[in-house]
Each structure stands twice: as structure tokens, then as C-alpha cells.
Amino acid sequence: MIEVKNLYKSFGDNHVLQDISVSFEPGKINLIIGGSGSGKSVLTKCMVGLHEIDSGSILYDGKEFTTMNFKQKKKIRKDIGMLFQASALFDSLTVEENVLFPLEMYTKQTKKEMLERVNFCLDRVNLENANKLYPAELSGGMKKRVGIARAIALNPKYLFCDEPNSGLDPFTGIVIDQLIQEITKEYNMTTIVITHDMNSVMETGENIMFLYQGKNWWQGDNHEIVKSDNKELSEFVFASKIMKQFRNA
Amino acid sequence: MITLFENIGAYFILLSRVFKKPDNYKLIFKQTIHEMVSLGIGSLGLIAIISVFMGAVVTIQTATNMNNPLLPGYLVGFATRESFILELAPTVMSLILAGKIGSNVASEIGTMRISDQIDALEIMGVNSASYLVFPKIIASLIFIPIIVIYSMALGIIGGLVVSMYFDGMTLNDYILGIRFDFKMFSITYALIKSVFFAFIITSIPSYFGYYVKGGALEIGKASTKSVVYSSIIILIINYLLTQMLLV
């Protein structure tokens, strides 16, 4: 479980996050939604320690993350997997080497054991016979799958996904969503997904947080979101005609 | 002025992270070998062409400017050897490598920065500065002195080839010249300079690439800046080392 309490973050005079308090539960898809510039990515980066926060606390299973030293943070980070919006695969490494990277960095397994784990992870994301390909040779959907395989290689407790289906066709987007959902349940991970995709929100949102003007504006699940009378949330989620029709139906 | 001091400060902060104890020696070793091949071996062709032709041109120019019968013929070989060993191989080749390797390093690390690859390393708990920059510095510290020696040899060979066909001189004079009054310290001096230049060639572009913000345009700017700053610092260090070691 990840808990954020009274978190503030600003860049100069720009107060990006203000008094954010939220809990992300294990075994659930926790979604962070909000308009562009609402602070979703900054919140995620604060949670994984890429940005220093101004004040507040971030707890990983009750342990305060912000006051940890480098070694302690490193221990937590071994339990974090992250899927980036643009996948962030290492260009100079093949698919196999990308997934192998965290294993080589942190485990003392033999090469054979590591390769078995790599193949298991790649099979798990339905990506076979791609081991020797380089990221430049992969489609967007394949890159996301490799990103997921790399993120789960060390069997993480926490999975962060930054817009996992952006830039993908609707069908591949659904496949990636389902994959994240399956993996979350299978390994009982605390999964946090930033998304703009309303299809994902309606399909997978078990715990949704709506960020508006840097504040935790609304929180609930995909059933509650339909019934909510929160004006800003409704304007964001049901912005399109088809979503309005869906709500009315 | 404040920006300059900020940049210098940030450069040394980056270096302090680069030289922290590596997370995994095996991976660093693997990466160093990879960098030696990519930065070092990848530069051999360019250095060979430049050195041979530069050696040939220096020989011709020296010979045409020393056609006074009172000057001994071996001076052409001597001048070619001295200019190559003392300046052309260590300094000019380093300036060329600052362009080739520097732009490569800045754009590679810059692309990793804007495509979140550096963030991915950090989230994995990897000291990205050490993992990315340390192997490049070590590879260049090992390989650039070798390239400098290689350039010296090829430059002198370039001059030797010209001396066989050029009317104003003889091959024997040239060989006598390149053997005349040889001081081993000249090679030591060139190697000392090349070690300093090797560090500059990789660390400064790494700095500009590592802190790049924005997109493709900024990577281009970082790449250009890294070449300009590396070249200027090479020239300043060259002057200081010459003052300290030769005067």
C-alpha cells in the first residue's frame, strides 16, 4: 500500500501539487486522472523519488519514503516497476537485454536463470520471438509490452504506469489495460496508472483520483464516477458526446 | 556570470555522482568495453585519414619553406616529427575527437534524458550518472592516448610517403630528421596532455547531455555547446600544461 499525506510540491511560484492526501491499495488498479498540467506526472515522480517534495509524506507499506537515505530508497526502488509513457526502453539494448537489465543489476542468479525469468516475463506479456530485436524495430504496442516485462522482471510490489495506452490503437490499448489488470491481480501489486483514456477509466478504475488545479478534487471508483455530480469531474470525464450519451444511458 | 558558476557547480556535482562506488562492477566493465569499441575503434578510420594527410601536408609545407641550401635537409623530417608529437597528434586530434566523440556523447545522453531512459535507471535504483558517464570517461582515458600514439605514427608515415616522391628532399634526409635529437619526454608530455583532453572530451559533453531539457532542438544545442566548450577548455589546458611541462 502507498499512502500520500498532505503533499505539496511547487516549481518556483508554480504550485503544482497542494495538500494531496490519497491511499493506493494493493491488488487494485488505482487511476490518477486529470487534465494536462494538473500535476499527475509530477505526483508520480514525487512518489518514486524523482522529484523532491516541499512537504508532506509518502509511505510505502507504512515506511516513510521521503526521509530515507539513498540505500534505503534503493531497497524500496527494487520493489518498484515503472512503465513510462514512451516506454523508455534502452535504445542500445535488445528486448532481451532490456528485461535482463534489472536482473543483472540486482540478482545473483546465473545467466541461465536470468534468461528463464526474461523469457517468462516476455511470455507473460505475450511477446515471443522478439528477444533479439532492438526497440527501434518494435511497434508502439510491443514497446509497451517490453516496458511491462521489464517493470515486472524483479517481481515488484508497486507498479507505476504513465499513460500506458497513449499512442496505441484502441484494440492494443485495451489489450495493454487487460494485461496490467491481470498482472496486478496475479501478483497483488499496488498499481498506479495515470491515464487520459476514458475507456480505461470505465473498464479498470477501481480507485480513481481526479486531480484538478493540483488538488485531489474527487476520489471514487468507476461506478461512482458516473453518478458523481462534481462539476469539474463531469466536464473532464464526459467531455465528448459519446461519453455524455453513455452517462445518460 | 551566475549561470557560468552554476554550470561549473553542476558539472562538479555530476562528477561527484559519476565517481561514486558503482552499483555493479560487472555491468560497468561490460559498458566500458562497449564504449571503447564505440568511441575508440569507431574513431580510428577518421584519425588515420586526417593524420596521414596532415603529415604529408606538413612535410611539403616545411620542405617548400626550407629550400635554403644552408639549412640541412633532415630539418624537414625533424619539424614534421616535432610538430606531430608535440602538438598535432595530442591537441589537434583531441580537438577533432571533441567534435566527433563530444557530439555523440551529448546527443546520446541527451536523448536518454528526454526519452525518460535516465529516469528509468533512477527508478531502478541505479546511479545513472555513474552507469552512463563513468564507462565513457574510463574508455576515453584508456583509448585516447592510444589514438594519439597511432596518430603520431601515421602522421610521420604520411610525411615519409611524400618524401619519397617530393623533389625538394630525399627519403634518407627525412628518416635522419625523424631520428634526430629524439627526446622521450616529448612522448610523455603528449600522453599527459592526451589524458587531460580525454577527460574533457567525455565529461563536458556528458554534462551537457545529462542536464538537457526540452526536445530534439535542445539536444542539438547541447551537442553544439559541448563541442564549443570542450574545444575551448582543451586549448586553455593545452596552454597551461605546456607552460608547466615544457617551460
pLDDT tens, residue by residue, A126-141: 888 888 999 999 988 8
CA distance, residue A54 to nearest chain B CA (Å): 20
Q: Are B102 and B222 in contact (CB under 8 A)?
A: no
Mean pLDDT throughout A203-207? 83
Residue A73 pLDDT level (bands cut at 50, 70, 90): confident
Mean pLDDT score across all residues of chain A: 86
Residue B81 has pLDDT above 80, yes or no: yes
Mean pLDDT throughout B215-244? 94
Residue A9 has pLDDT above 80, yes or no: yes
CB contact (8 A) between residue A105 and residue B116: no
Chain A, nearest residue to B28 by Cα: A105
User: For chain A, what are the domain ranges?
Assistant: 1-79+156-223, 86-155
Residue A247 has pLDDT above 80, yes or no: no
Q: Which residues on adjacent β-strands are paired with residue A2?
A: A24, A60
In this prediction, residue A191 carries a pLDDT of 92
Using the 8-state DSSP alphabet, how is residue A197 labeled?
Answer: -
In this prediction, residue B1 carries a pLDDT of 67
Asked if the C-beta of B236 comes within 8 angstroms of chain A's C-beta atoms, the answer is: no
Is the model more confident about A247 or about B136? B136
In this prediction, residue B144 carries a pLDDT of 94
Is the model more confident about A243 or about B53? B53
Cβ-count burial B19-43 (b if 16+ within 10 Å, e if not): eeebbeeebbeebbeebbebbbeeb
With beta carbons under 8 A apart, name residues in chain B contacting A86.
Answer: 115-116
Each residue's pLDDT tens digit, A79-98 = 898 888 888 899 989 999 99
Each residue's pLDDT tens digit, A178-193 = 888 888 888 889 999 9
Mean pLDDT throughout A155-159? 89
Each residue's pLDDT tens digit, B90-137 = 999 999 999 999 999 999 999 999 998 999 998 888 889 999 999 999
Each residue's pLDDT tens digit, B166-201 = 877 888 989 999 999 889 999 999 999 999 999 999
Please give the single-letter amino acid code of residue B126. V
With beta carbons under 8 A apart, name residues in chain A contacting B115.
Answer: 86, 88, 91
In this prediction, residue B85 carries a pLDDT of 94
Compute the distance between CA of residue A22 and CA of residue A218 in angstroms, rounded to an integer: 10
In this prediction, residue A239 carries a pLDDT of 72
> Of B23-32, B35-44, B85-94, which has the strongest mean pLDDT?
B85-94
CA distance, residue A236 to nearest chain B CA (Å): 27
Question: What's the grid cell of residue B176?
Answer: 635522419
Residue B67 has pLDDT above 80, yes or no: no
Contacts of B36 by beta carbon, 8 Å cutoff, 6+ apart: B139, B142, B143
In this prediction, residue B46 carries a pLDDT of 93
Q: CATH second-level architecture of A1-79+156-223? A: 3-Layer(aba) Sandwich (3.40)
For chain A, what percent of residues have pLDDT higher than 90? 24
Chain B, nearest residue to A79 by Cα: B124
Q: Are strands A55-60 and A14-24 parallel, antiparallel or unpaired?
A: unpaired
pTM of this prediction?
A: 0.85
Using the 8-state DSSP alphabet, how is residue B92 labeled?
Answer: I
In this prediction, residue A28 carries a pLDDT of 86
